[in-house]
Amino acid sequence: MKDEIKNEMDELLRRVSRRNDATPQGGDTSLPSEHLDSDELNTYAERALPEKTRLRYTEHLAECSKCRTLVTQLSQSSGVERLQNEKAQPSWLAGFFSRFLSPFSWRLAFPVLAAVGIIAIGLIVFRRESPRTFIAERTNETMTEKAQATPVLSDGDNNSSPQSKTPTVSPPVQPQVAGQTGQHNTSSNANVSDRVESAASSAPKDQPAGSAPASASADAAPAPVPAEELTRINVAENQQKLEDLKKEKQAEEERDKATNAKEPPAAAKTRNVDELRGATSTAEKSTSGGALQMSPGFSAGKRERKDDESKNDSETKSLAGRQFRKRGNTWMDTAYNSSMTTMTVARGSESYRALVADEPAIRTIADQLDGTVVVVWKGKAYLIR
Amino acid sequence: MVSPVKDRTEEIQKLVKLGATRLLSRAQDTRSVKVEYLTPRISSAVEKYLLRDDPSSSSEDIGQFIDGLQADDLCLIIACEQSDEKAWTDLVERFTTTVRSAARSASANEDAAEDLVQSIWAELYGLRIRDDGKRASKLAYYSGRGSLAGWLRAVVAQLAVDSFRKQSRLVQAEEDSELDRMAQDVSPEDGPVVLIATTQSPEEAITTKLTHEHLEDAVSRALQNLGPDDRLLVKLYYFDNLRLKEAGAVMGVHEATASRRLSRIHADLRKRVSEILIKEKGWTKAETEQSFAEAAQQLDSDLGTLLRNESVS
């Protein structure tokens, strides 16, 4: 229906327009007395008139083809000018988006984004490595002393494969000698002695690349041995010692299981093992302290080492027939689980005295373990502070 | 006792003076134009564009109107009127391109455009001297309500139309005499010239002619009864053959708005035309509907012919 009306009126209006074209007035039913002047034409075309005035001029334009033609021309040219002005002075937001979304910007943006991405990745890697470096630097000296203070064990088992026995010992990473010892970093079968050699061969940056690697033995080392090299040597010794102690511990644990008897010396040895393990791992950290220039196989080794470190960080003690593992400042009973009802008891408090009066073994545990202790006793957990 | 008119005049003069001060304060370059030079121009613009159609305009309306004037353009024009050489140099430098471009688009060739440009600058400078001793410059007509560039384009366009009409009158006179000669050359032995061939009988032809006349008269009258905006749209679209986008640009509305408005006008016109035919010409409703249907068919056949011609060419 709408289309029909449109067609009907379209034809009729065109017919009227054709008929009026033939008249001298050119389609205007009445000739206005005065045409619009230039200022009126322009203000109309630029829509700068108040509404009522505009209506008066519209009335004129509807009847005057001359003024209508001029206004049409001016509207089109002012429209072009407006467009040009808009192009020349776009709004802030439109300008921002047009600049941001322009292909030229994106062509530049991709390399910039790529560069930013590379820098970001570099920073992340650097940040992840930095604490390790600082810890290594801080602990370097103390751990070296610790390692030196530890009795050096015999080299009898040097030929055995320590990695097969102590898979938790992390492979050392020597970025400065990565090119020389690449096979050590990538080979999962590399043994500790190899790694010790590679560790020992890693020299300070200013050392010539072709210098002979230092001997694993402290005796064979040149007289002015740098602290870092000493640390590396001690790492090897500590690892060896660790293996021996671990063997002993395993044997004792088997005996413990068989007899279910308390063996404080074994616990002490265990502690020694753990201390040594900690010392070894820290010392190893110190040797890999400058590990900012990574070798390709570094990340995998790093992950392994991290796992090992988390294991090594926790000490284990066995007291009154219970196993305790140190997590931070807390000794946790290995039998503890979070679903247990936990009773908090402060050392020296009335409730503590009552508890140890009933259960003297708990006092033994609490006396021997400093800090916070979580004990599982007769199906109940006690948090002793 | 002070009359309300006088009271209003004083109030308006005060508002104009204040407005002139504000205008000078917001102009980037006042060109040493003083408030007293500005106030007559502003007062004239307020009277012409505001108070004539709305004498009861409020003080705020007058203030807003004055604040909408183009401060820098107005100062430049008044400085030119004051024979400020620098202002003239600036005017020519800034608007030579605009004037030349407008002259080119209004002229048939480059020579005519150059003539037009020279005429424009002469008109702006004012070659005639008025009775008061000042030059009769077209600059006096610039109100500052629209942009100076737009005003210059309007001056160029108007001058171009005027000069074209003068020329076309001369050409028309020559063509008329040529046609007279051609008419005299036709000898009576050639026989009568059949201008229209039709299959209709004379009665049918007269009836059809009358029907068309009634219908077209009714449409013309219905058109006159439309509002100014609707009438202007119809004129722009059907009489000036503008596209809807162009017609919308003249009226300051979007193409879609113009299209919706045109659909409404169609329905409105049809209703008015039907009323005129039934009430004044004595047509029945069926006859009115049939005439409308025939008009639509005519449009279809016209379009069909147009499409066929286009496909052949």
Q: Any CB–CB contact under 8 A between A255 and chain B? A: no
Q: The tokens of B141 are what?
A: 């007509």
A18-22, B87-91, B198-202, B258-262, range with the lowest pLDDT: B198-202
> What average pLDDT does the structure give for chain A?
64
- A299 and A175 in a common domain: yes
- E strand or H helix at B302, and its extent? helix B285-312
- A331 and A266 in a common domain: no
Please answer yes or no on whether B299 and A7 come within 8 Å at the CB atom. yes
In angstroms, the CA A39 to CA B113 distance is 22
Please give the sequence-ordered ranges of beta strands (E in DSSP) within A232-341, or none if there are none: 316-319, 322-327, 330-333
Please answer yes or no on whether B249 and A29 come within 8 Å at the CB atom. no
**Structural domain harbouring B260:** 202-304
Position with higher pLDDT, B199 vs B193: B199
pLDDT at position A93 is 65
Distance from CA of B65 to the nearest CA of A (A): 8
Closest CA to A187 of A297, A68, A339, A40: A297
* Mean pLDDT of all residues in B68-77: 95
Smallest Cβ–Cβ distance between B296 and the set A7, A70, A77 belongs to: A7
A98-102, A232-236, B202-206, range with the lowest pLDDT: A232-236
pLDDT at position B92 is 94
pLDDT at position A106 is 67
pLDDT at B75 over 60: yes
Using pLDDT thresholds of 50, 70 and 90, give the confidence band for residue A2: low
pLDDT at B131 over 60: yes
pLDDT digits (tens, 9 = 90+) for A101-138: 666 666 777 788 889 999 999 888 888 765 555 554 55
pLDDT at position A4 is 76
In angstroms, the CA A158 to CA B124 distance is 109
A92-96, A209-213, A327-331, range with the lowest pLDDT: A209-213
Helices (H), A172-263: 182-186, 192-201, 227-259
Residue A112 belongs to a domain: no
Residue B195 belongs to a domain: no
Q: The tokens of A372 are what?
A: 């916070």
Residue A117 belongs to a domain: no
- A385 and A269 in a common domain: no
Using the Cα atoms of residue A213, residue A219, residue A225 and residue A226 in order, give the sign of their dihedral. positive
- A187 and A52 in a common domain: no
Q: The tokens of B277 are what?
A: 């035919």
Amino acid at B189: E
- A280 and A177 in a common domain: yes
Using pLDDT thresholds of 50, 70 and 90, give the confidence band for residue A40: very high
Please answer yes or no on whether B239 and A20 come within 8 Å at the CB atom. yes
Residue B159: what are its φ and ψ, rounded to 5°?
-65, -40
- A158 and A292 in a common domain: yes
Chain B partners within 8 Å of A66 (Cβ): 161
pLDDT digits (tens, 9 = 90+) for A309-320: 444 455 788 888
Residue A142 belongs to a domain: no
* pTM as predicted: 0.52
- A373 and A240 in a common domain: no
- B208 and B287 in a common domain: yes
Domain limit, last residue, from A55, A71, A89 = A89
> What is the per-residue burial (b if ≥16 Cβ within 10 Å, else e) of A125-161?
eeeebeebbeebeebbeebbebbeebebbeeeeeeee
pLDDT at position A95 is 58
> What average pLDDT does the structure give for chain B?
84
- A160 and A302 in a common domain: yes
* Domain count across chain A: 3
CB A44, CB B247: distance < 8 Å: no
Position with higher pLDDT, A340 vs B171: A340
Cβ-proximal residues to A343 (8 Å cutoff; 6+ apart), any chain? A380, A381, A382, A383
- A278 and A327 in a common domain: no
pLDDT at A303 over 80: no
Chain B partners within 8 Å of A9 (Cβ): 265-266, 269-270
pLDDT at B128 over 60: yes
Residue A380 belongs to a domain: yes
Domain limit, last residue, from B147, B170, B193 = B170
What percent of chain A has pLDDT above 70?
43
CB B35, CB B24: distance < 8 Å: yes
CB B151, CB B123: distance < 8 Å: no
Residue A215 belongs to a domain: yes
Smallest Cβ–Cβ distance between B150 and the set A17, A62, A74 belongs to: A74
- B90 and B65 in a common domain: no
pLDDT digits (tens, 9 = 90+) for A52-67: 999 999 999 999 988 9
Q: Any CB–CB contact under 8 A between A85 and chain B? A: no
Q: Any CB–CB contact under 8 A between A71 and chain B? A: yes
Numbers of helices and strands, H then E, in chain A: 14, 6
- B95 and B37 in a common domain: no
Q: List A342's β-bridge partners, or say none.
A: A381
Distance from CA of A92 to the nearest CA of B (A): 22
**Structural domain harbouring A361:** 315-385
Position with higher pLDDT, B301 vs B29: B29
Using pLDDT thresholds of 50, 70 and 90, give the confidence band for residue B20: very high
- B265 and B207 in a common domain: yes
Using pLDDT thresholds of 50, 70 and 90, give the confidence band for residue B28: very high
Compute CA distances B306 → A7, A55, B11, B269, whole Å. Answer: 16, 38, 63, 26
Residue A299 belongs to a domain: yes
Contact residues, A window 40-69, toward B, CB-based 8 Å cutoff: 41-43, 45-50, 52-53, 55-56, 58-59, 61-62, 65-66, 68-69
In angstroms, the CA B164 to CA B145 distance is 28
Residue A137 belongs to a domain: no
Domain limit, last residue, from A313, A328, A353 = A313
Fill in the DSSP letter of residue B70. -
pLDDT digits (tens, 9 = 90+) for A162-187: 443 343 333 333 434 333 443 444 34
In angstroms, the CA A82 to CA A85 distance is 5
Please answer yes or no on whether B232 and A70 come within 8 Å at the CB atom. no
